[in-house]
Amino acid sequence: MSSTRYCDVNIFAKGDDLQNQAHPLEDFARRLKPKEKSVVTVVGKTFDQLVSNCPDNVHLEFRKVSVPSNRYSPLEKAWLDIYTPIYHQMKVDIRMNRGSRKVELKTLADTPDISNLQKSADFVHAFMLGFDIPDVISLLRVDELYVESIEIKLDVKTLKGKHLPRAIGRLSGKGGKTKFAIENSTKTRIVIADTRIHILGAFSNIKTARDSLYSLIMGSPAGKVYVIEPKKL
CA 205 to chain centre: 23
How far is 68 from 128, CA to CA, in rounded Å? 7
Between 6-10, 75-79, 160-164, 209-213, the lowest mean confidence (pLDDT) is in 6-10
Greatest pairwise CA separation for the chain in angstroms: 98
The total of structural domains in the chain comes to: 3
- Summarised one tens digit per residue, pLDDT across range 207-232 is 999 888 888 887 777 776 754 554 54
**Does one domain contain both 188 and 132?**
no
**Does one domain contain both 111 and 171?**
no
Residue finishing a domain among 85, 109, 140: 140
DSSP β-ladder status, 146-151 and 196-201: antiparallel
How far is 129 from 193, CA to CA, in rounded Å? 8
- Summarised one tens digit per residue, pLDDT across range 56-73 is 545 788 999 999 999 999
**Does one domain contain both 111 and 79?**
yes
- Summarised one tens digit per residue, pLDDT across range 165-179 is 777 787 877 778 888
**Does one domain contain both 150 and 125?**
no
**Does one domain contain both 63 and 135?**
yes
Considering Cα of 118, then 124, then 130, then 132, what sign does the dihedral take? positive
Cα-atom radius of gyration of the chain, to the nearest Å? 29
How far is 189 from 182, CA to CA, in rounded Å? 9
Question: Which residue type occupies 127?
Answer: F
Identify whether 202 is part of a domain. Answer: yes
Integer CA distances (angstroms), 216 to 57, 93, 102, 169, 172, in order: 55, 42, 35, 10, 10
Q: Which domain holds residue 117?
A: 59-140
Residue 177 β-bridge partners: none
Instruction: Tell me the average pLDDT of the chain.
Output: 77
Confidence class for position 143, pLDDT limits 50, 70, 90? confident
Among residues 92, 137, 145, the alpha carbon closest in space to that of 117 is found at 92
Residue finishing a domain among 94, 122, 140: 140
- Summarised one tens digit per residue, pLDDT across range 79-103 is 999 999 999 999 999 999 989 999 9
